Structure 1
Amino acid sequence: MIFISRELKPDSPLRNWAEQSGAAIHAQSLLRFSAVAFTPPAAADWWFFYSARAVRFAGGEVPSGVRVAAIGGSTATALLGRSLPVDFCGDGHPGRAAEDFLAVADGRRVFFPRARQSRLSVQTALADRLTVLDAVCYDNLPVPPAGPIDARTYIFTSPLNVAAYLDHYPLPAGARVVAIGPSTGSELARRGIDCRWPAEPSEEGLVQLLAGRPA
């Protein structure tokens, strides 16, 4: 069985691949999300979104005339789904996205609507090259499962999801562990857990990674 720490849509590429491969899949977010009231900045050249979740909670506040950035493809898709422009799209890796973003935003005022538990990866990397405007727009609290989840493959989709599970339950010996991207992978590595992550932090990327080995 495959466990992934997020809910999946009925047409999820990962769910479809698992079903076609004959693998059971257990999709369960280990976080609870809630909106946090915030005041958008009066003057910003850019709004930079870390996640589709941030788009959900703050996308409706983007003023006209402001340029909009997404850390990766999934966030860009969420922005387009709200009829918002995507003036910059990174590759989903915080370090590379920050470096590429400088090419268009060096010296500008950039607003980062974010989760309370965010690691601040992009704005920390860019703090000396642009003016960082920051506000918490949603809360993300860990909600551990009621008991351990028995799977052969564990896919963790954020560092906080890693903590929500591994602070309470160990992984079984021999389990395959996959991270959605390098930030989650770093948290797993910090805990001494070997893992891999896809070239692209998306369900399609996960499918490409998993398809090379039965789940």
Structure 2
Amino acid sequence: MDRTLTIGTRGSDLALWQANFVKDSLAAINIKAELKIIKTQGDRILNLSFDKLEGKGFFTKELEDELLAGTIDLAVHSHKDLPTENPPGLIIAAVSEREDPSELLLILKDCVDVHQKLSLKYGAIVGTSSNRRKAQLLAHRPDLEIQELRGNVPTRIQKLRNESYDAIMIAKAGVSRLGLDLSDLHVETLTPNELIPAPAQGVMAIQIRESDTELFNSLQALNHLHVAEELAIERTVLKLFGGGCHLPLGCYCRKEDGKFQVFTSKADEGDGFPDRLFIETESTEGVPEKIVAKFAKGRKMPQSVFITRELSEHSYFRRAIEKHKINIEARSLIRTVPVINKLDSYILKHIDWVFFSSKNAVEYFFELNPSLPKEVKFGVMGSGSEEMLRRKGYFTAYVGESTDTAEVAADFAELVKGQTVLFPGAEGSLRSIQQGMSADTKVIDLPVYETVLEEDVEASGADVLVFTSPSNVDAYFAENLLDPYQKVVAIGKSTGKKFDEMGVKYALPFSPDEVGLAEAVFGL
């Protein structure tokens, strides 16, 4: 291509970074380009939230108008800002690799409370202009006060530093691309399955005129087909919901081991409790329609759910289920008792890691008032154990998020190879994580509690039975049978093995926590 292309872009630091990235990528394939800065409606109107602005494409329309007029040759967008349909005559010619789509919660250091979920003090003021973020944040922390936050990435961060907020939420992709220094702030990273990102978050889109076939062909060198395949799911879900920037919708698709994993979160309003759904499939055909059908008004839901765990009034699972007027029966079928009352101080002096497989292990271990080395690190199985550890004032260096303990064991074994790991836990536990450690890793088992099965367990007539441990399965089915209409959810594969032995079908959540369990029930 012998002509010099004109790239249309917004003028923010992030938009210019993205446009220059594309310019440099074009230069690498011997195509010259120059930038033209174009101001959009979203740049001009900063005193209104997105749901108060009229129409769609607040950050894209003016760029598209110039493309259609022929004053620019291509436009570079944050893909998540684009409406789901191109104006007639325009197409997306290429998409970039995906930057990490995680969210960052940036917190003023004097507003940090490590005992609270997300490390944010009770009743904190959080800035975000996104209804999607608002709904998901309040689902985890209903005590927070959410206030409007507009502006480009550096402007928003400066507003936090000026103490206009206690914390703000921002996409990790923008911070990473700009290489911003956040050392004066406390940074909490929320992974895409913890807080589901906007469709196409972290991806750049290159838009051109449909008639410019020469440019289209040249841009295929910059196109990432595997990303486009994943985005097709996310963007179709957004389109079917008829949404834009203001819709409290998160949708994220990724391909793992040949299967597509799709996470969706949707609330009716920004301060409404969102429903969440997880789907794993080998084929993408019909997946967006299936997702939208699960969120349909009036869809058939179970009338009652039984879970083998005591639930607080404010627990995530309880609020997610009771939102749909579903009755909850919550009772543990086991009880735990301590088995030791003193720790060997010599052992504690020589450990590098402590790994907890359950909240009970955390609770009983710290009741012994352990004197730990300052450099000791903590690993946990699941977010429930992580949250319990936070309440004790400690952060985790590793969180096993899979329901498959073998996968967690393999990941953790690689991390702690050649070190000494203490495993506080239940007496007679399955030792699933310990068995995965390499031969040069020293494993120290420390039984701190014992599990006792309750006797004469009463059967539940609930439509859905949720089992949170193998011991609860043993306790329930010692004297009870499953009714034909009842469906089962098992928190993880070790619990699921009990049902495999009985020949009972069950649903397995993506994550072994209350969020994952609620997703599994919603997906039945």
TM range (shorter): over 0.9
Specify the alignment match of 2:360 in structure 1: 53
Whole-Å separation in 1 of the counterparts to 2:381 and 2:373: 20
Q: Which runs of 4+ in 1 moved over 6 A?
A: none
2:372 to 60, 63, 67: 63
Kindly state the Cα deviation for residue 18 of structure 1 after the two structures are TM-superposed: 2.0
**Is the partner of 1:149 in helix, strand or coil?**
coil
Structural mapping, 1:169-180, within 5 Å: 169-180=480-491
- 1:189-204 aligned at under 5 Å gives the runs 189-204=500-515
Deviation at 1:90, TM superposition (A): 1.4
Distance 1:143 1:108, change over 3 A: same
Correspondence for 2:343: 39
Shift of 1:203: 0.9
Residue 86 of structure 1 corresponds to 396
What does 1:30-179 correspond to in 2, within 5 Å? 30-37=333-340, 39-40=343-344, 41-42=347-348, 43-59=350-366, 60-61=369-370, 63-65=372-374, 66-92=376-402, 93-126=404-437, 128-179=439-490
Matched, 1:205 2:509: no
Taking the aligned partners of 1:19 and 1:96, their CA distance within structure 2 comes to 33
1:167/1:127 Cα in 2 relative to 1: closer, same or farther (>3 Å)? farther
Rounded Cα–Cα distance in structure 2 between residues aligned with 1:18 and 1:89: 26
**Following the alignment from structure 1 to structure 2, what is the Cα–Cα distance between the partners of residues 62 and 100?**
27
SS of 1:61's equivalent in the other structure is coil
The 8 Å contact of residues 490 and 507 in structure 2, kept in 1 or not, is answered as yes
Q: How many residues align?
A: 213
Task: Indicate the residue corresponding to 1:188 in structure 2.
Answer: 499
How many Å separate the matches in 2 of 1:186 and 1:114? 20
CA contact (8 A) 2:417 2:438 kept: no
**What one-letter code is carried by the residue in structure 1 that aligns with 2:397?**
D
2:354–2:379 Cα contact (<8 Å) kept: yes
Which range moved further: 150-159 or 14-23? 14-23
Identity fraction in percent:
30
| 1:62 Cα deviation after fit | 5.4
Residues 45 and 192 of structure 1, relative CA distance in 2, 3 Å threshold: same
Q: 1: CA distance between counterparts of 2:334 and 2:420?
A: 31
SS for the counterpart of 1:163 is helix
RMSD over aligned Cα, in angstroms?
A: 1.6
Of residues 158-167 and 123-132 in structure 1, the stretch that sits farther from structure 2 once superposed is 123-132
Taking the aligned partners of 2:321 and 2:382, their CA distance within structure 1 comes to 24
CA gap of 1:39–1:127, structure 2 versus 1, over 3 A, is farther
Q: Which runs of 5+ in 2 are unaligned?
A: 1-303
TM-score by length of 1: 0.93
User: For residue 319 of structure 2, what is the aligned residue in structure 1?
Assistant: 16
TM-score of the superposed pair, with normalisation by structure 2: 0.39
Structure 1 position 155, deviation (Å): 0.4
Equivalent pair of 1:47/1:62 in contact (CA under 8 Å):
no
Q: Give the aligned residue type for 2:373.
A: S
Bigger Rg, which one: 2
Once residues 129 and 179 of structure 1 are traced to their aligned partners in structure 2, the CA distance between those partners, rounded to angstroms, is 34
Task: Kindly indicate whether the alpha-carbon contact (under 8 Å) linking 1:144 and 1:168 is maintained by their aligned counterparts in 2.
Answer: no
Q: Once the 2 structures are TM-superposed, how far is the Cα of residue 5 of structure 1 from its aligned partner?
A: 0.4
Which fold has the larger relative contact order, with Cα–Cα distance below 8 Å and residues 6 or more apart in sequence? 1
Between the aligned partners of 1:75 and 1:84, the Cα distance in structure 2 is 11
Secondary structure, counterpart of 1:63 in structure 2: coil
AA at the equivalent of 1:179: A
- For structure 1, the 5+ residue unaligned runs are none
Render the CA deviation track for 1:77-116: whole Å, top value 9, x for unaligned.
Answer: 1111110231211114311211111232001111100111
Distance 1:16 1:85, change over 3 A: closer
